[in-house]
Each structure stands twice: as structure tokens, then as C-alpha cells.
């Protein structure tokens, strides 16, 4: 409240009675104004959702894009009254810097927040896998909105506190294998995988689903995060006379691979089908000169381009209004934004169904959600007691990456 122009006892020239009258009026006016500005209930406390991702990695675009999706949904929900009859949703973020130990600590920190209902996890599957024991020890839902490794939802913890609104390797890697066979006519393929939970998840699918009608994989090569070259792995693929490559990695490893393939004679540049971590960052800037020299497709579950779903249009418009981007084609890491947007809407419904911020009750409610029209798809029944994955193989599409960073749907 602005300061009143009169001092309590006003001017000495005033009579005492008049001064007392004015003073009484000031107190009455102040009390009336305070009463008028204060609703019957003070602003209701927020309900918190946590989000952990690698904000500190300069080449990573997934964290910011995912945060856009979270905030767009929260703004929409809060404008319509929030949750639990008027409580606003609010976001808490932490930066794991791409380190599993830090991500695990971040989960514990977030889970300890009063009225926090769930923690969304980001791009790095190994970090989500490392968080699982803490999610079940603390009984706080972990919802992956990017990580694809099967163990994020396939594990022995009962009841399960992990959910996913994202691609799952079980059907995602199989789709990549089929892409090599159908588009590039590959029968003998090579895989280059990271020595992590993510790479082992992909390798398990490759071993289980290789067969004559899909590309077979006589060669699987492993690399470690931080390796400066993949040249020897690619040479092993060429030496084994494979005709195509399945790659699992993020933007830094993707840039190394693209540059080293581009340096080969054209006849020795195998077609590549890549997992989506590589386009969850600035791959186009890291390998801008070589990108068009390599045939490479990237798996996705969502695109804003030519998408007519009302919530997808709403989300794209929100991002453009709240960023410096000029076109929906320019939105980086679109899967993160869309998955997170749908996830927050599903969480809001679970909170209202549970009628509490108790994470245990919200977990139970997530398994019983009604149908929901999201940005990514129509969720007939998002989760069940036995299925904590909201997406399926019908969401799979493949894109090309342009030197401007745009992900253009193919076929």
C-alpha cells in the first residue's frame, strides 16, 4: 500500500480533535483497504512439480524445450483454476550436468520438497535409471519425459513409482532396425552403442529382434562417453561388410560420427539411423559442414510441422510467444516440449483425482486416469496397473536434420 500523505498527528497548527479525527480515518481507511485486498482465504499454497535435466551442458537443448512444455501446461492449468480447488502448479528445476550421481542427489533434494507430487526426468536414460531406487525408497513418482531405456519402467520394484511419456527402446529401436531394412535395403547392419544403461537397453532389443526380415547385426561396437573418436568402430563396421549403421548417442558423439563418416570416400559412407539423443542438442552446429554429406535419419515421436492437433498448435504458439523463435520448424527438441506438456496435464488430473498432494496417492491415481486429448496423441487410458508407458510404436516417425537445426519429417 502506498504511504498515506498525512503524518499520524498531521500539522501542529491543527486542533487536537481534528488531528485525532483524521488519524482515526487513516486507520479505518488502511484497515478497509487491507481487508478489501485480502480474500477470505490467503493465496493457497502451490503444488510443486520437479524437473531435472542437464541444463549445464551447453550443447543440450532438451532441458529448455522440456521446460517450455511444462510451463505452457502449468500456465494453462493455473488459468483455469489450478488443482485441488484453486492451488497453482509451480515448477522446481535442478541441473544434473549430465552426471548420474548429481541427478540422483537432485532427485532426493526435489523429493523432499513439501507438496511436491512428482519429479520429471530428462534426456539421459542412465540418470533416470540411477534415480529409480530413490524414487521407490521415497515413494515419489518419477516420470521420464525423454529417456527411452527399457529399465526406466521395466524393473522389479512393486508397486512401481516410475512412469514414462516418451519413446521406449523396446519398440523404438525395433523401428530403427526396420528403417534400415525398408528404406536402405540393409540386411547386414552394424551398431555403435554407448557403454551405458541406454546402450545396453538398445543392444538387448537388437539381440532379441534381429531376424531375416529385419536387418541382422553381426557387429555391435561399444564406446564410452568422452571418447574423442569413433573411427575404429566405424572401420570395424566397414571391414565386416555391413551395409548400414544403427547409432545410439547424443549430439557430441553424433557430431564425431558424422564428421568421420563424411571424411570417407562417398562409396564408404553407410546410411545411418540414429537414436534421438543426437538431435536433443546442437548437432547441426557441431557438424554443420558435414551434415549434408551423410545419409542419416533420426527417430522421433512428435513433430510440430503440419500438426493439426489442437493442443500441439496451442503449445507451438505458446513457445513462439515466449521465445525468440520465428517458426514452429525452429523449435528445438520438440519431443521434450510435447511430452512434458502432456505429462503435466496428466499429473494435474491425477492430483485432482487423488484430492491430495500425497505422492503415493498421486501414483495410484496415475494408473486410473480417464482419456485425454494431448499434444502428442489421444490417450485412451494413459497408464494402467501393468503398463506405465503412455506412448507406443504408433507415434514413431523419422526426420532429417537441416543445417539450420530443423527436424523435417520424412515419408
Instruction: Provide the CATH number for the domain around residue 200.
Output: 3.40.50.2300
Task: Verify that 353 and 292 share a domain, yes or no.
Answer: no
Q: In what order do the strands lie in the sheet with 296-300?
A: 216-223, 188-194, 244-247, 272-274, 296-300, 397-401, 407-409
Confidence of residue 167 (pLDDT cuts 50, 70, 90): very high
Percent of the chain with pLDDT over 90: 88
Q: Is residue 93 part of a domain?
A: yes
Q: Is residue 13 part of a domain?
A: no
Percent of the chain with pLDDT over 70: 90
Q: What is the pLDDT of residue 372?
A: 98
Task: Verify that 162 and 191 share a domain, yes or no.
Answer: no
Task: Verify that 82 and 198 share a domain, yes or no.
Answer: no
Q: What is the pLDDT of residue 348?
A: 98
Rounded distance, CA 186 to CA 178, Å? 9
Rounded distance, CA 368 to CA 67, Å? 26
Domain that holds residue 72: 47-167+306-392
Task: Verify that 264 and 143 share a domain, yes or no.
Answer: no
Question: For 391-402, what is the mean pLDDT?
Answer: 98
Task: Verify that 75 and 155 share a domain, yes or no.
Answer: yes
Rounded to two decimals, the pTM is 0.89
Q: What is the pLDDT of residue 211?
A: 79
Question: For 205-214, what is the mean pLDDT?
Answer: 87
Q: What is the pLDDT of residue 8?
A: 33
Burial 277-294 (b: 16+ CB within 10 A, else e): bbbbbbbbebbeebbebb
Q: What is the pLDDT of residue 238?
A: 97
Confidence of residue 2 (pLDDT cuts 50, 70, 90): very low
Rounded distance, CA 242 to CA 180, Å? 11
Residue 136 has a CB neighbour count (10 Å cut-off) of: 18
Question: For 237-247, what is the mean pLDDT?
Answer: 97
User: What total number of domains does the chain contain?
Assistant: 2
Confidence of residue 212 (pLDDT cuts 50, 70, 90): confident
Confidence of residue 114 (pLDDT cuts 50, 70, 90): very high
User: Is it the case that residue 276 has pLDDT exceeding 70?
Assistant: yes
Confidence of residue 206 (pLDDT cuts 50, 70, 90): very high
Amino acid at each position: 500500500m502506498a504511504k498515506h500523505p498525512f503524518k499520524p498527528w498531521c500539522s501542529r497548527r491543527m486542533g487536537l480533535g481534528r488531528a485525532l479525527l483524521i488519524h482515526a480515518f487513516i486507520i479505518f481507511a488502511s484497515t478497509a483497504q487491507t481487508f478489501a485486498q485480502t480474500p477470505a482465504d490467503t493465496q493457497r499454497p502451490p503444488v510443486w512439480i520437479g524437473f531435472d535435466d542437464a541444463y549445464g551442458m551447453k550443447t543440450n537443448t532438451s532441458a529448455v524445450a522440456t521446460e517450455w512444455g511444462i510451463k505452457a501446461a502449468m500456465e494453462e492449468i493455473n488459468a483455469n483454476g489450478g488443482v485441488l480447488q484453486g492451488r497453482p502448479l509451480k515448477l522446481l528445476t535442478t541441473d544434473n550436468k549430465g552426471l548420474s550421481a548429481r541427478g540422483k542427489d537432485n532427485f532426493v533434494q526435489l523429493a523432499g520438497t513439501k507438496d511436491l507430487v512428482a519429479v520429471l526426468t530428462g534426456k539421459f536414460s542412465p540418470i533416470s535409471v540411477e534415480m529409480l531406487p530413490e524414487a521407490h525408497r521415497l515413494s515419489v513418482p518419477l516420470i521420464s519425459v525423454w529417456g527411452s531405456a527399457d529399465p526406466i519402467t521395466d524393473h522389479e520394484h512393486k508397486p512401481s513409482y516410475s512412469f514414462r511419456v516418451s519413446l521406449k527402446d523396446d519398440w523404438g529401436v525395433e523401428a530403427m532396425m526396420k528403417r534400415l531394412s525398408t528404406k536402405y535395403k540393409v540386411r547386414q547392419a552394424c551398431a555403435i552403442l554407448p557403454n551405458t544403461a541406454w546402450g545396453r537397453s538398445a543392444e538387448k532389443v537388437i539381440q532379441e529382434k534381429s531376424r531375416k526380415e529385419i536387418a541382422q547385426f553381426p557387429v555391435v561396437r561399444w564406446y564410452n562417453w568422452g571418447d574423442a573418436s569413433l573411427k575404429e568402430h566405424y572401420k570395424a563396421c566397414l571391414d565386416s561388410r555391413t551395409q548400414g549403421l544403427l547409432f545410439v548417442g547424443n549430439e557430441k558423439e553424433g557430431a564425431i560420427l558424422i564428421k568421420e563418416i563424411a571424411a570417407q570416400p562417398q562409396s564408404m559412407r553407410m546410411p545411418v539411423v540414429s537414436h534421438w539423443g543426437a538431435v536433443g542438442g546442437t548437432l547441426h552446429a557441431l557438424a554443420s559442414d558435414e551434415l549434408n554429406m551423410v545419409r542419416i535419419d533420426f527417430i522421433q515421436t512428435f513433430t510440430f510441422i503440419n500438426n493439426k492437433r489442437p493442443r500441439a498448435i496451442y503449445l507451438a504458439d505458446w513457445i513462439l510467444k515466449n521465445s525468440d523463435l520465428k517458426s514452429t520448424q525452429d523449435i528445438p527438441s520438440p519431443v521434450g516440449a510435447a511430452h512434458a506438456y502432456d505429462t503435466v496435464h496428466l499429473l494435474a488430473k491425477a492430483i485432482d483425482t487423488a484430492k491430495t498432494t500425497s505422492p503415493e496417492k498421486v501414483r495410484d491415481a496415475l494408473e486410473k486416469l480417464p482419456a485425454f486429448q494431448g499434444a502428442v496423441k489421444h490417450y485412451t487410458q494413459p497408464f494402467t496397473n501393468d503398463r506405465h508407458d503412455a506412448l507406443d510404436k504408433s507415434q514413431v516417425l523419422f526426420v532429417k536434420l537441416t543445417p539450420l537445426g530443423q527436424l523435417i519429417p520424412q515419408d
